[in-house]
């Protein structure tokens, strides 16, 4: 109840008329920035003092969207002036600066209609009917301009195939990815698997392959009509090793952390083909040993290059990103 009464008192206070001393104007309205009292305090310094408080017009200052509407009416209620005033674009004006701008508009209107002060020719006072303000204000002047909505996030789903090259040779690779992007920055999650590779050791054959998942950031470079993207990921890999032709054949698994840096060329549209080159490195050594064998363990490659081609589909806000 107390809050409701406080709100009513605030509205009533904003609506109280304020007399511009010596100007013949009564200011009122619900605007808080600027307040009618701020404008009324500036007007006497802009208009010649008449020495009397004779009332000849009402001035109302009200907020309309992000703008301030200035309305001047005669004593009979006729509309004499309507002027929306928007704050300067790209900056936030102070209430005192807005009050000064409103006061200048009102003072200019007052001076132009004063027989002693107007720069118009005597036979043009008052202004011709063609220049008079219509009694009904067009809706286009009242409505605040609509601001464009910020672009929403984009979801990208893709798949790729290619080759992985390291000191052990060439292997096939394939993977899928999910990316969420807003404008030029995104977050990508990938799942990649390589084909098996094998080599001979101690009279048997060792077969191994890597699976890995990655999570990282993507940046679309604003340098080319054909999209260029830089990506960096942290990887968690799983290596599977299987022996064949030994006295006892075993299968083993191990995990390793790694990193990847990639450069991608991407086409435009809802369905986007791409070509990617990447370098991948693993942060720890992984060795394959044959128990009872005569040779030392064989270290798996820690650095590899990758070339893949793929396609991805764009979902979500189609206007937010190429």
Contact 33, 4 (CB under 8 A): no
What does the DSSP 8-state code read for residue 195? P
Contact 34, 95 (CB under 8 A): yes
Contact 103, 43 (CB under 8 A): yes
Supply the mean pLDDT for the chain. Answer: 79
Please tell me the pTM assigned to this model.
0.52
Instruction: Give the integer Cα–Cα distance in Å for 287 and 189.
Output: 28
Contacts of 152 (CB under 8 A, 6+ apart): 182, 316, 317, 320
Contacts of 119 (CB under 8 A, 6+ apart): 112
Place 222 in a pLDDT band, splitting at 50, 70 and 90. Answer: confident
Place 234 in a pLDDT band, splitting at 50, 70 and 90. Answer: very high
CA angle 166–213–171, rounded 5-degree value? 25
Of 11, 54, 41, 167, nearest in space to 106 by CA:
41
Contact 187, 156 (CB under 8 A): no
Q: What percent of the chain has pLDDT over 70?
A: 72
Confidence at residue 176, expressed as pLDDT on a 0 to 100 scale = 96
3-class secondary structure, 147: coil
Kindly report the three-state secondary structure assignment for every residue of 249-318: CCEEEEEEEEEEEEEEEECCCCEEEEEEEEEEEECCCCEECCCCCCCCCEECCCEEEEEEEEEEEEEECC
Q: Which helix (H) or strand (E) holds 225?
A: none
Pick from 6-10, 33-37, 44-48, 210-214: least confident: 6-10
Contact 213, 191 (CB under 8 A): yes
Spell out the CATH class of 154-316.
Answer: mainly beta
Of 72, 86, 73, nearest in space to 141 by CA:
86
Contact 112, 83 (CB under 8 A): no
Instruction: Give the integer Cα–Cα distance in Å for 167 and 230.
Output: 25
Q: Model confidence over 308-322: pLDDT tens digits?
A: 999 999 986 554 445
Which two three-digit tokens encode residue 15?
Answer: 């609506």
Q: Model confidence over 272-290: pLDDT tens digits?
A: 999 999 999 999 888 877 7
On the 0-12 / 13-18 / 19+ scale of CB atoms within 10 A, 29 is buried
The ranges assigned to domains in the chain are 2-142, 154-316
Residue 160: is its pLDDT beyond 70?
Answer: yes
Contacts of 140 (CB under 8 A, 6+ apart): none
Place 1 in a pLDDT band, splitting at 50, 70 and 90. Answer: very low
CA angle 147–153–154, rounded 5-degree value? 125
Contact 151, 321 (CB under 8 A): yes
Instruction: Give the integer Cα–Cα distance in Å for 174 and 172.
Output: 7
Which two three-digit tokens encode residue 75?
Answer: 């004593």
Contact 61, 68 (CB under 8 A): yes
Contact 157, 315 (CB under 8 A): yes
Instruction: Give the integer Cα–Cα distance in Å for 313 and 315.
Output: 7
């Amino acid at each position: 109840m107390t809050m409701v009464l406080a709100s009513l008192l605030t509205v009533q206070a904003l609506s109280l008329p304020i007399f511009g001393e010596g100007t013949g104007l009564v200011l009122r309205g619900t605007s808080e920035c600027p307040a009618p009292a701020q404008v009324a305090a500036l007007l006497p310094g802009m208009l010649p003092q008449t020495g009397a408080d004779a009332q000849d017009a009402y001035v109302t200052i009200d907020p309309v969207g992000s703008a301030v509407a200035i309305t001047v009416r005669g004593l009979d209620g006729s509309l004499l002036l309507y002027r929306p005033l928007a704050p300067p674009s790209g900056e936030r004006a102070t209430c005192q600066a807005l009050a000064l701008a409103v006061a200048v508009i009102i003072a200019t209107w007052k001076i132009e209609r004063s027989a002693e002060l107007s720069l118009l020719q005597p036979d043009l006072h008052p202004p011709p009917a063609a220049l008079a303000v219509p009694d009904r204000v067009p809706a286009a002047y009242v409505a605040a301009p609509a601001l464009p909505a910020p672009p929403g996030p984009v979801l990208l789903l893709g798949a790729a195939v290619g080759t992985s090259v390291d000191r052990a040779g060439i292997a096939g690779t394939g993977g899928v990815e999910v990316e969420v992007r807003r404008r030029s920055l995104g977050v990508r999650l990938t799942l990649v698997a390589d084909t098996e590779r094998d080599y001979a050791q101690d009279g048997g054959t060792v077969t191994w392959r890597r699976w890995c998942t990655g999570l990282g950031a993507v940046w679309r470079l604003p340098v080319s009509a054909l999209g260029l993207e830089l990506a960096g990921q942290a990887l968690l890999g799983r290596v599977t090793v299987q022996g064949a032709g030994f006295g006892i054949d075993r299968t083993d698994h191990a995990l390793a952390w790694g990193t990847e840096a990639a450069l991608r060329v991407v086409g435009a549209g809802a369905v986007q083909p791409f070509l990617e080159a990447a370098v991948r490195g693993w942060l720890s050594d992984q060795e394959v040993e044959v128990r009872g064998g005569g040779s030392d363990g064989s270290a798996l490659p820690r650095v590899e290059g990758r070339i893949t081609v793929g396609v991805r589909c764009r979902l979500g806000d189609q206007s937010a990103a190429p």
